[in-house]
Chains A and B, each alone.
Chain A
Amino acid sequence: MSLKTETILVLCEKPNAAMRIAKALDKDSDPEKKILSKVSYYEAETDGKRLIVVSALGHLYTVAPKIMDRDVYPVFEFEWVPKYKIERNAKENKEFIDAISKLSQEAQEFILATDYDIEGATIGYTILKYACGGKEKEAKRMKFSTLTTDEIRKSYIGLLPHIEFLTVEAGVCRHFLDAMYGINLSRAMTVASKRWSGRYTTISTGRVQGPTLNFLVEREKEINSFVPTPYWIINAKVEINGSIYEAEYEKAIVESQAEANDVINSCRGKTGKITEIEVKKFTQNPPTPFDLSTLQTEAYNLFRFAPKRTADIAEHLYLDALISYPRTSSQKLPSTINFRSILESLGGESKYQELTAKLLRREILLPNEGEKQDPAHPAVYPTGNLPERILSGPEKHLWDLIVKRFMAVFGEPALKQTVKVYVSVDRHRFLLRGSCILKEGWIAFYKPYVQADEVILPSLVEGEEVKIKDIAQEEKFTKPPPRYNPSSLLKKMENEGIGTKTTRADIIETLYNRMYVKEERMVVSDLGFDVVDILSSYCPEVLSADFTKELEYKMEEIQHGKEKMENVLNDALNHLKPLLDELKTHEKSIGQALSEAVRKARLQGRVFGNCPICVTGELLILHSKRTGKRFIGCTNFFKRTCKASFPLPQNGAVKPSGKSCQICSWPMIKLKLKGKRSWVFCINPNCASKEGKSK
C-alpha cells in the first residue's frame, strides 16, 4: 500500500469485536495483528483503503467531580476524565487511550463501531472527542446487531453519516446525573460516618440504588412483621378401577378446624358419586422472543444464573458472533434477519437437525412477537453460526436456551386439555383434576425448558360410583410474601421503570458488595435497613422510585429530541441541593447512626456461627496475644465460660461461608488464597469430611 493510501480508524468497544470486524472487512479476511504499547489492533485493507481497527475496553473515560477531595460535598461541577485517573483497577485504560491517540494521528477518517446503544454511543463519543482530538463530529457510524461477517460488511457499506448525537446527549446526561446523585449522597453519608467514628467506610446510594434498596426494605418489613394464620386443606384418596387418585376438597381453604373435622367425619369410608365432568380444551401460544430481561429471568429460573452473570455470558456469546446483541428491550424479530438461513445453519448441529428440519418444511415462518420494542436492536436470536471453540458449561446452556427459544417462537400453539371430575360424598364435593397435552406445537422445540405435568385420568362417566379409600386434613399456615431474588428484583425495577437494561444487574451487584443484602434470597442486613431509615428520615425523595422514573422519562425525551440535557441537569440540581443541605445539617446524628450500623455489620461479618461447644457463644476470628496467630474462638471465652478454639490457616482471606457442614453441622469457613479458587471447609478438626485428607 502506498503512503498516500487513505487511512480509516475503526473504533470498536471490545478487543474481540475489533478482531471480528477487522476479519470481516479485510479483503482477504486476514488482517494483520499489531501491537502498540501493549494494545493489540488490526490493519486491514478494503477497497484500496487502509483500515486501522482498534478497540476500547468499554468506557475509557468517566465523569468525575472537579473537586476530588472525598470529604467535600456538595459538588456540582463535573467533567469527563480518563478512567485510570479515578479508578484504581483501570490502569490498563491508559495504554488504550495512548494507543488510540497515536493511531488516530495516522487516520484521515473515523468510523465508530461500538455497540449501537446508549452506552456504546457514549463510549465512542468520549474517545473520539478526548483521545482522538475532537473527531466526534466527523466520525461515521457502523450499525449492526450481530458480529457476523455478512452483517459487518453490510454495515460498512451502508455507513451512517454521523454518530447518534441525541443518544449521546442522553447518555452523557445519564452519566452526569448518576455522578451528581451518587457522588454527593454517598459522600454525605460516608463523610458523616467517618467524622463520627474516625474510620473510613464507603456507604453508597444513588438515584437508582436508593429506590431499589427501598423495595427490598419494604418487603423485608412485611416479612418481619408477618403473623401467619391457620387454615386446613382436605385431600381424599379415591379408588377408580383399582387405581388410587388424589382428590381435593372443593373448598381449597377451610378456615376452622371444626369445619375440617366435620368434613372428614361425614366422608370417611363412604362411596361417592361422579356428579359432573368438565372438560376444557385451550391453546397456549408460543413464547415471545427474548429481550434481555426475559432472558435473565428465564436463565435464573432454569439455571439459577444471577442477572449479571447472564448478561456477561450473553456478551461472550455475542462477541463470538453466536447470538445477536443481547442488551435489547425488543421482543420483535424482523424478517430481514432471514429466519430460514439461520435455521438452515443451526441444522448443522446434530442436536438441532430434526427440529430445524421440522420448521424448514413450513412455507411461512412467522414468529410470535411480544409487544416490547427497541429502535436499536431486534430481540436476542442465534446468528446461525456454530461455536468455533469449546463453550464453557454455562455458555452452552445459555446458547442452547436462546436457540431453542428462537425455534419455539415459530412453533404452532400447543393444544392442552384439562379435566375436572366432581365427586359428591354426602353433602360435600371433591375434585379430581387431570391434564394432558393434545398437540405439542411449540413445546416440542422448547424442551427441556418447559415443564408439562400431565395427569391422565381414566375414562369416567357421570353417575359412576367411586370409593373414598382415605381422607385426611392438613393444617397449614399463611405465608409471608416471598423475598426478592436477583431475578424478581430485576423484574420489579423494570416494571417500576428505574435503571436501564444495562445498569439494573450492576445495581443489584452493588447492593451485595456494600453488604446491604446477603444470600440469594435477598435478606436485607441491618446496615441496609439503617441506610434506608436515615434516608427516609432526612431525604425521603432519594428513595422515591417516582422521581427516578421521571428522570428516566426525561432522558428518553432527550433521545427523541424533545428535551435538552441542560434543563434536566438543572432540574436535578435544584432537587438535590436542599436534600444535601438537610443531610449536612444533621450530619452528626446521621454519622452516629451509620457508624453504629457499620460497626454491627462488621461484627456480623466476622461471626462464623454459634459455638458448637457451649451453644450460647458466637465464633469469631481472634488473635493469640502470645504468638499473634489467628484462630477461631468463642465470645464466651471473654466471660471465661467457654474455651472452644479452632485452628485456622495463617495465609489467605478467611470469611464466614454462611453454611453449616452437612456431616457434623458445625459452621463452615471460606478461605481465599491469592490467585486460587476459594475453598469452603468445616471448622471441626474431627469432622468425618476430613478423614484421610491429612494422610
Chain B
Amino acid sequence: MRCGVCNRNSESEFCERHKKAYENLMKAYKVWEKSLGISWIEYLCRIRQNANAGLWVKEVVQHLLVQNARKKKSEHDEISNI
C-alpha cells in the first residue's frame, strides 16, 4: 500500500510520518473545538494557514481538504443526476 500523501510504502492510508501528523491533527481538533467552536473543515483551513503547523501536518490537511472537495463534488453530481 502507498501513502495517500507522499506515495511512500505504508501499511495503512498514511506512511509513518503522515500517520503521526494525522493522529496529532485529530487530537488537537478537540482543543480547537472547545476553544473556538469551529467545524472540522474550518479547523483544517485554519491549520493550513497557521505558521506553527508542521510540514507533514499541512500535507495531510491538504490531502484531507482535496478528499473532502472530491466527496462534495461527487455528492453534487449524484444529486444533479437524480
Contact = CB atoms under 8 A, between A and B. Distances in A.
B32 A225 contact: no
B35 A226 contact: no
A224 B52 CA distance: 10
Interface in B55-80: 55-57
Contacts of A255: 34-35
A224 B35 contact: no
Chain B binding surface SS class: helix
Nearest to A529: B17
Name the residue among A223, A226, A255, A480 with the largest chain B CB count within 10 angstroms: A226
Interface string A209-243: 00000000000010111111111000000000000
Interface string B13-43: 0000100110011011001101110000000
Contacts of B52: 226, 228, 477-480
Contacts of B24: 225-227
Nearest to B29: A227
A225 B17 contact: yes
A226 B22 CA distance: 10
A229 B52 CA distance: 9
A256 interface: yes
A645 interface: no
B50 interface: yes
A223 B36 CA distance: 24
Nearest to A255: B35
Nearest to B18: A225
B36 A257 contact: yes
Contact of A224 (B34, B47, B56): B56
Interface in A467-497: 477-480
Contact of B17 (A221, A230, A479, A480): A221
Interface residues of A, number: 17
B35 A227 contact: no
A226 B32 contact: no
A170 to B, nearest CB: 40
Query: Chain B, interface size: which category?
Result: 20 to 34
B58 to A, nearest CB: 9
Contacts of B25: 227
B1 interface: no
Given A229-B35, A477-B50, A224 B55 contact: yes
B28 A227 contact: yes
Interface of B: 17, 20-21, 24-25, 27-28, 31-32, 34-36, 47, 50, 52-57
Shortest Cβ-Cβ A-B pairs, 9 listed:
A227-B28, A228-B52, A225-B21, A224-B54, A226-B54, A229-B31, A224-B56, A227-B24, A256-B35
B35 A231 contact: yes
Given A221-B17, A221-B20, A227 B54 contact: yes
Contacts of B34: 255-256
A256 B31 CA distance: 9
B53 A227 contact: yes
Contacts of B21: 224-225, 227
Contacts of B20: 221, 225
A256 B33 CA distance: 10
Given A221-B17, A221-B20, A226 B36 contact: no
A427 B27 CA distance: 33
Given A231-B35, A255-B35, A257-B36, A226 B17 contact: no
Contacts of A221: 17, 20
A444 B70 CA distance: 67
A228 B50 contact: yes
Contact of A230 (B36, B55, B57): B36
A226 B20 CA distance: 9
A257 B55 CA distance: 27
In the complex, which of the residues A224, A225, A231, A477 has the most CB atoms of chain B within 10 Å of its own CB atom?
Answer: A225
A230 B35 contact: yes
A480 B54 CA distance: 8
Contacts of A479: 52
Contacts of A230: 31-32, 35-36
B29 to A, nearest CB: 8
